[in-house]
């Protein structure tokens, strides 16, 4: 019950990992605010728990992020989870696609963390959901990999800025998750290679030495641990949740 009454803001809270995080923190007694661009998806998650409320916001829009935190109120825990992926060879990647990936996956974290830290009370936790793509390279997703490496670098820098405060900054770096985003990657692999959906999914699962996709509940458990007593010295870390991939 250590988190009872803490306010948590989670971006990208309408689907996948964000929804799992929201429900898990709400079950721990937190007041949870979820944000994202899809108001309908947010509402469906909020309907599942009385301690969850939704605010539609685009994390790439500076004014929208400012308004998001004004509407949420001071937050003890801020989880920058919003993200998107695009698979293409670098030579076929348009500048607009590069900017889109950097915008949602890196600039969105910057804006979320900056505003979150500005209004954070004495104790706080900033958690970025990065990826194993922030720790290594993958082919055909260079803009995504670049953005996630940037997130890990930002976490390490900001952790030093707040090190004398009761605030920590960390990144969670899961491998391929069993979520809607991975479903889209599976469909793309199947469409471009001619493999079946099951074969494409197996290809991604094999990247994990355990031979499986990561359950979002495993990432939520790590996020909760970073917010519990005994985690104060864990600061500036990029924690791989990947079955030993990295």
State the catalytic residues: 144
27, 59, 174, 191, 216 from 34: Cα distances, Å: 14, 12, 20, 33, 16
Contact 58, 106 (CB under 8 A): no
Q: Give start and end residues of each alpha helix (H) in 4-77.
A: 16-27, 39-46, 62-72
What contacts 108, CB < 8 A, 6 or more positions away? 11, 59, 60, 80, 82, 83
For 146, the enclosing helix (H) or strand (E) is helix 142-161
- Give residue 39's Cα distance to chain centre: 18
Q: Is 128 exposed, middle or buried (0-12, 13-18, 19+ CB in 10 A)?
A: buried
Tokens of 188: 């793309």
Sheet holding 77-80, edge to edge: 52-56, 31-36, 7-11, 77-80, 124-129, 167-174, 238-241
Closest CA to 42 of 19, 65, 66: 19
């Amino acid at each position: 019950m250590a988190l009872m009454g803490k306010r948590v803001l989670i971006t990208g809270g309408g689907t996948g990992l964000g929804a799992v995080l929201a429900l898990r923190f709400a079950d721990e007694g937190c007041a949870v605010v979820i944000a994202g661009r899809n108001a309908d998806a947010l509402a469906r998650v909020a309907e599942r728990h009385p301690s969850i409320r939704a605010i539609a916001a685009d994390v790439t829009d500076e004014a929208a992020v400012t308004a998001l935190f004004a509407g949420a109120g001071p937050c003890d825990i801020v989880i920058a989870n919003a993200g998107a992926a695009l698979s293409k060879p670098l030579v076929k990647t348009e500048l607009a696609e590069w900017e889109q990936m950097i915008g949602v996956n890196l600039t969105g974290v910057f804006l979320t963390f900056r505003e979150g830290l500005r209004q954070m009370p004495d104790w706080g936790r900033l958690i970025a959901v990065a990826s194993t793509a922030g720790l290594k390279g993958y082919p055909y997703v260079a803009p995504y990999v670049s953005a996630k490496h940037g997130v890990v670098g930002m976490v390490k820098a900001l952790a030093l800025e707040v090190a004398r405060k009761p605030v920590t900054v960390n990144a969670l770096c899961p491998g391929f998750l069993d979520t809607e985003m991975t479903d889209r990657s599976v469909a793309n692999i199947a469409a471009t290679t001619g493999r079946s959906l099951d074969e494409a999914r197996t290809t991604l699962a094999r990247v994990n030495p355990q031979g499986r996709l990561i359950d979002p509940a495993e990432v939520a458990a790590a996020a909760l641990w970073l917010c519990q007593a005994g985690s104060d010295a864990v600061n500036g870390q990029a924690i791989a949740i990947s079955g030993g991939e990295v």
